[in-house]
Amino acid sequence: MQHLEEEAQWIADALGGNQLAFAQLVERYTGAVYNLCYRMLANQQDAEDAAQEIFVRAYTRLSSFDRNRRFSTWLLSIASNYCIDRLRRRRFAWLTLDDVAFWLPSSESGPERSALQHERDDVVQRALQQLPEQYRLVTLLRYWYDMSYNEIAAHTGLTESALKTRLHRARKMLGELLAPQGVLEWDEETTS
């Protein structure tokens, strides 16, 4: 409760012109917003840019924030809508030289961990990218943000029935992509 009262004070101060108060909210929620953006957009640079834009939007719309709601929920709804829009705009994005350079093998040495561990860490992220964006969003809200069905339904504007259908299909797709045989192969390789 103290946490919420503290946020309410920061919001009131930010509306009163204290930008440092809003900076406290940025500090608190950068991780949550970045995580959503990264999981949705699958690119660190895009996720950083998106997180910045989301907070700027929250700042410019702060006077429209309903103080009966949780700030985190409101912020994540801005983030969700932004990421969905951005993914839709990507459909029309032409391939750029930066994209080609990304695919080419890099001569720079990567972080110091085994290639196999790195591959394992990315498995779930790559599987998430196989989901349609609306399925990916509800999956993230359910499993990464522990939202209840009611909360996700309110967040996305879906009925609970439509949400359950969407989530169930997402689970099936993810389950097939993360099938145990993948794990078994990894275990065999590490123990051989």
Partner 1 sequence: MGRRDDELTPAQDAQADQLLRDLMALYGEPRPAPPPQYLAQRIVAALPQQPATLARRRLPIAGTGASLAGVLALALFALGLWGVLGNSAGPAGLLGGAASGLGRALLVLTLAAKPLVGSLAAIGLPTLAGGALLVAVASWAWWSLVQRPLPGGMEVLS
Question: Which 162-181 residues touch partner 1, going by CB under 8 A?
Answer: 162, 164-165, 168-169, 171, 173-175, 178, 180
CA distances from 127 to 25, 154, 163 (A): 31, 26, 20
- Does the protein bind partner 1 through residue 38 (CB under 8 A)? yes
CA distances from 138 to 18, 35, 110 (A): 35, 14, 32
Binding mask 72-101 for partner 1 (x = CB under 8 A): ---------------xx-xx-x-xx-xx--
Length of the chain measured in residues:
192
- Does the protein bind partner 1 through residue 52 (CB under 8 A)? yes
| Segment interacting with partner 1 (CB under 8 A) among 2-10, 37-45, 66-74, 104-112 | 37-45
If we measure between CA atoms, which residue out of 36, 37, 32, 31 comes closest to residue 50?
A: 37
Q: How far is the CB of 132 from partner 1 (least distance, A)?
A: 3
Three-class SS of 28-89: HHHHHHHHHHHHHHCCHHHHHHHHHHHHHHHHHCHHHCCCCCCHHHHHHHHHHHHHHHHHHH
Task: Determine if residue 90 is left, alpha or beta; phi over 0 gives left, psi from -120 to 50 gives alpha, anything else beta.
Answer: alpha
Out of 81, 129, 151, 154, the only residue in the binding site for partner 1 (CB under 8 A) is: 129
Out of 9, 31, 73, 185, the only residue in the binding site for partner 1 (CB under 8 A) is: 31
> Is 1 or 89 the residue whose CB approaches partner 1 more closely?
89
- Does the protein bind partner 1 through residue 120 (CB under 8 A)? yes
| Segment interacting with partner 1 (CB under 8 A) among 1-9, 14-22, 68-76, 107-115 | 14-22
> Is 43 or 72 the residue whose CB approaches partner 1 more closely?
43
